[in-house]
A and B are shown apart, each in its own frame.
Chain A
Amino acid sequence: MSLGVARCMGRVLWRQTHVPRMFLEGHCHPRQSPRCNTVLPLHTSAPLCAEPKKKKKVDPKREHVARERLKKRLKKMEKVPPELIPIEDFITPHEYLDETRARSEPKLSFEESERRALLLKEWSRFKHKQHQAEMEAINSALKAQREALEELKVESEELYKAAIKPDPLVFPFSHEGPTYTPPKPKYDAPDGKYNDITKTYTQ
C-alpha cells in the first residue's frame, strides 16, 4: 500500500518536473528534442524497477482472512445455548395452588381406618394368590411345550429345526383387548370434532 502511494507520488512529481522544461525550450514535439533517443512515444508510467505485480493476490487474501476473523468473533458472541423445552407435567399450574380448591379434611372414625387397613391387607393377599396362579399356569404351559419339543427331536431332526426357527410372520402382533360392552353391529360413530390446543416448542 505504502509503495503504491509512493509510486503515485513519484509519478505526479515527475510529471510536474517534466512539463515546465519542455515549455521553456519551446519544443512541442518530444522527438525533435536532442535528449530523446527513442522513436516510440514516451510512456509516462511509474518506474516498476523489475518488481513483479503482487497487489492483486495478497490484498484480497488479507481482506478475506480479516473478514473470517470478524465473523468468528460475531458467532461466538451470538452463541446462546438453546432454550430448554419445559416439561409440562413437572410444572404445577398456578390454579392448583388456589386455597379455595382445597377440600375440608375428612375425619375418619377408628372403625373406618381399621376397615381400610384390613381391606388393603386382604387385597395384597388376593393379588399374591392371583400372581402365584398365573406363574404356575405359565410354567406348566412352558413344561408342556418343552416336552413336545423333546419328543419332536426324538422323531425327526428336520421337523425339530423347522419348529425352532423363528416365525417372521408372527410379529408385529396386535390384538384389540376386551371392552366393557360388546361392539354394536352396524354402528355409525359420529365425527368427533376437536380443537387441538397442545403447545409445540421449537428450539
Chain B
Amino acid sequence: MAAGRCFHQVFRLSVSAGGAAAGRTGIRRSSGAAAQHAAGPWRLLGAACVQRLAVISEERRPMEGRFSELMHQMELERSLMSDHELRLLDDKKKLKRRQAVDYDSEEEDDEDRDQDIILTQDLEDAWEQRRKLFHTQPRVQGDVDVRVERPDRWLTEPLVLLTQQEVGADKLWLLPQTPWEAGETLKTTAQRALSSTPGLEMQTVFLGSAPCGLYKYRLPRAVRGSEGVTGVKVFFFKAVLRGALPPPGPSSIWARKSELKDYLKPSYLDKIRPFLLDL
C-alpha cells in the first residue's frame, strides 16, 4: 500500500515538475512525502452540509420580465375570444343601442326587456372586491432577514447551517462535524454530528451515502500527538431540511452563499463552494 502510494507520488510530481533536473528533486521530495505518509495516519471527520432550500420563488430579472410580457402579448394576439369577452362585447352593444337617440323600448325582444341588467363589468368588479378580502403573507420581511440565526430569513435563497466549534486552540465557524468512530460509515458520522450537538436536532434527509466534498489539511509538527497523525480529512455529506423549520439554536447560523466568506476561511470555502449549488 505504502509502496503503491510512493510510486503514485513519484509519477505525479515528476509529471508536474517537467524536466529531468526537476524530476530528480521531485523524486527526493516524493521519498520525503512517502515517508510522511507511511509515518502517520489521517484523522477522519464526517461533516453535514444541511441546506434549507428556497421557500418562495426569486424576483424576476428585468430580461425575464420583458420576455414574459412579450410572450403574454403574442399569446393574446393569436388566441380566440372567450365567452367572457364575447359577453363584454354584447353588453357594450346593448348599452350603445339603449343610449341611442332613437331608442324604442318596444322593439326590444321580450327576453331582453325582462332581464335585469347585470353587466359583465359589474361581475368583474365584484370578483375584484372578493379578491382584495384575501391577504397573502408578505414575500419580503426585512427585519427577519437581518437576524442570522433564524432559519426563515431570505426565503428566496437556499441557506446553509454553520456552527461554531473549537478546532485546536481557536473557535471557528464550520459546517457541523464530528470525528469518525470505528464501526460506522462516514454518513452515520455526519448524522451523529447533527444529532449529538444540542441545538442542531432537526428533520433532515441525507442525499445518498457518498460524500460530496473533501477538505484536508496537515497538522503542524508540534500538534501531531503521540500517534503521529499527519493531518485531518473532513468528508462532507449533503442533507436537505425536511418538514417544519427548527427553532434558532445557540451558536448556529443560517448563511446564504454570498455571506459564507464572512464566516469561513478562504481555503475551507474553496472546497465547499463547488457542491453548494444555487440551482
Which A residues are closer than 8 A to B by beta carbons? 96, 100-103, 106, 116, 119-120, 122-123, 126, 134, 137-138, 140-141, 143-145, 147-149, 151-152, 154-155, 159, 162-167, 170, 173, 175, 178-185
Contact = CB atoms under 8 A, between A and B. Distances in A.
Given A101-B86, A162-B186, 17 more contacts: A101-B80, A141-B212, A144-B212, A148-B212, A148-B236, A149-B210, A151-B214, A151-B233, A163-B185, A167-B208, A175-B53, A178-B54, A178-B55, A180-B56, A180-B139, A181-B138, A182-B155
Contact of B137 (A159, A166, A183): A183
Contacts of A173: 205, 207
B123 to A, nearest CB: 20
Contacts of B70: 116, 119-120
Contacts of A152: 186, 211, 214, 235
Given A116-B70, A151-B216, A152-B235, A145 B80 contact: no
A134 B137 contact: no
A22 B213 CA distance: 125
A144 B185 contact: no
Given A122-B63, A159-B185, A170-B207, A181 B139 contact: yes
Interface of B: 5, 42, 44, 53-57, 63, 66-67, 70, 74, 77, 79-81, 86, 136-139, 155-156, 185-187, 205-214, 216, 233, 235-236, 240, 271, 274-275, 277-279
A125 to B, nearest CB: 9
Given A101-B81, A119-B70, A126-B63, A163 B209 contact: yes
B214 A144 contact: yes
Sorted nearest first, the 6 A-B pairs with minimum C-beta distance are A148-B214, A144-B274, A101-B80, A140-B274, A181-B136, A162-B185
B275 A144 contact: yes
Contacts of A170: 205-208
A175 B211 contact: no
B56 A178 contact: yes
Chain B contact residues, majority secondary structure:
mixed
B245 to A, nearest CB: 11
Contacts of B277: 137-138, 141
A59 B212 CA distance: 84
Contact of B209 (A119, A144, A167): A167
B211 to A, nearest CB: 4
B211 A163 contact: yes
A166 B211 CA distance: 12
A178 B74 CA distance: 27
A154 B236 CA distance: 17
Contact of B42 (A119, A155, A180, A181): A155
Nearest to A151: B214
B66 A163 contact: no
A102 B66 contact: no
A100 B214 contact: no
Contact of A100 (B55, B74, B86, B208): B86
Contacts of B209: 162-163, 165-167
Given A155-B233, A159-B185, A143 B56 contact: no
Given A103-B81, A163-B187, A182-B139, A144 B213 contact: yes
A157 B240 CA distance: 28
Contacts of A149: 210-211
Contacts of B275: 141, 144-145
